[in-house]
Amino acid sequence: MTSDCIFCKIIAGEIPGQFVYQDEQVVAFRDIHPIAPTHILIAPRKHFDSVHHVDASDEPLLGHLFTAARLIAEQEKVSQSGYRLVVNTGAGAGQTVFHIHMHLLAGKPMSDKLV
């Protein structure tokens, strides 16, 4: 845990979050500023600032994010209608919380434009 990371604090239960999924490797909770009817953040329990801080040894954990995303999409009943997964890396790409995480977005038609 990084002491100044808001996601680490949510994961540790120091800040409330509306959890929709959790296991020993990842947690998922609803975004407090959703941009789609379904907007869930999926984050590893292990802290990484961004994609630039992972290496080959992290592949099983990061692959598990996709497995969790599939399970969450099924749970949220959006797997058949479709959903988008987004990972922002760096401030220039829109990353505002520097704890690697995936956005699961669904519930409205998505355009081909960038999120």
pLDDT per residue, tens digit, the chain (115 aa), is 677 999 999 999 999 999 999 999 999 999 999 999 999 999 999 999 999 999 999 999 999 999 999 999 999 999 999 999 999 999 999 999 999 999 999 998 887 665 4
**How is the chain split into domains, by residue range?**
6-106
Domain topology for 6-106? HIT family, subunit A (3.30.428)
55: number of Cβ within 10 Å: 7
Please list, in sequence order, all residues whose beta carbon lies within 8 angstroms of the beta carbon of residue 79, skipping any fewer than 6 positions away: 70, 73
Spatial contact of 65 and 44, defined as CB atoms under 8 Å apart: yes
Q: Which residues are catalytic?
A: 101
